Amino acid sequence: MGDTALNVPVKVRTHELQQVKTMIPNVADDLEQADLDEAAEEVQRIFDTHIEGIDAHYPEGPEFAAYLSMPVEDWRLTIRYLNRARRTDGKLRAQWLQSKLVDRVEDRLEELEGDDE
């Protein structure tokens, strides 16, 4: 996935933004309850740094609500921890969101790497 320090902006729709804002804190709480404090802190850091303050502002029209932007490593962790959201927020919603984000992050990385050539 290239440079892990590179900030990767990814378009999200209104409902996806709302789901991320709901699922990620639930994952952090679930990890904390399972005494996985380091992982809970990591998830909470990602939420606080990259997700919490993002509001829908429709930068490119009504289809996409906002950009979520974070380094590649934080995208990896977010996507990985969405597996945990399957336990807290419903398997199908979390799985669907996870697959959408994976596709968009991969597409965006390809675009960014193509710009470097």
pLDDT digits (tens, 9 = 90+) for 10-67: 999 988 999 999 999 999 999 999 999 999 999 999 999 999 988 877 767 667 788 8
Query: ∠ CA(9), CA(13), CA(19), 5° rounding?
Result: 95
In a domain, 112, yes or no: no
Backbone angles phi, psi at 4, to 5 degrees: -75, -10
Here the tokens at position 111 are 């675009």
- Which residues span the domain enclosing 37? 7-107
Domain count, the chain: 1
In a domain, 50, yes or no: yes
Evaluate the CA torsion angle 72, 7, 43, 53 in order and state its sign: negative
In a domain, 2, yes or no: no
- Position 91 scores a pLDDT of 72
In a domain, 117, yes or no: no
In a domain, 51, yes or no: yes
Confidence of residue 87 (pLDDT cuts 50, 70, 90): confident
Q: CA 86, CA 76: separation in Å to the nearest integer?
A: 16
| Mean per-residue pLDDT, 88-98 | 80
User: Residues 74-84: pLDDT tens digits?
Assistant: 999 999 998 88
- Position 61 scores a pLDDT of 66
- Position 71 scores a pLDDT of 94
User: Residues 99-110: pLDDT tens digits?
Assistant: 999 999 999 999
Evaluate the CA torsion angle 75, 94, 17, 36 in order and state its sign: negative
Q: CA 28, CA 44: separation in Å to the nearest integer?
A: 6
CA nearest 66: which of 77, 78, 75, 57? 57
- Position 2 scores a pLDDT of 45
Q: Write the CB contacts of 33 (distance below 8 Å, at least 6 apart in sequence).
A: none
In a domain, 116, yes or no: no
